[in-house]
């Protein structure tokens, strides 16, 4: 949809992102969740550089994950293919 629809940690609802960023910067904009972007960044610039298969796990306000399989970011139907849990850490 190009919008932030629902977030587990913040009370954001229906915040448009894609259209304003595309308009402002005149470049294509893609939206993914934080872990999918993190694993992509790790593959491009970090310890995963040159790897075709990579798993990234994050622990912050919850437990999340991202994966690259055969060189492609694993997204899944709703963009949450590798979310290993929605746990709030207190």
Which of the listed CATH numbers 1.10.3720.10, 3.30.1490.20, 3.30.420.40, 3.20.20.70 matches domain 32-90? Answer: 3.30.420.40
Q: What is the pLDDT of residues 53-62, one digit of tens each?
A: 999 998 877 7
Helix (H, G, I), strand (E, B) or coil at 64: strand
Phi, psi of 36 (to 5 degrees): -65, -40
Please report the pLDDT score of residue 89 as a whole number: 63
Q: What percent of the chain has pLDDT over 90?
A: 49
Domain definitions of the chain by residue range: 1-31, 32-90
């Amino acid at each position: 949809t190009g919008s932030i629809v629902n977030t587990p940690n913040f009370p954001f609802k229906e915040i448009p992102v894609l259209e304003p960023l595309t308009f402002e910067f005149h470049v294509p904009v893609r939206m993914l969740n934080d872990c999918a972007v993190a694993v992509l960044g790790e593959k491009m610039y970090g310890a995963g550089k040159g790897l075709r298969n990579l798993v990234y796990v994050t622990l912050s306000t919850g437990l999340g994950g991202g994966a690259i399989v055969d060189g492609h970011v694993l997204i899944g139907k709703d963009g949450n293919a590798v979310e290993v849990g929605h746990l709030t850490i207190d």
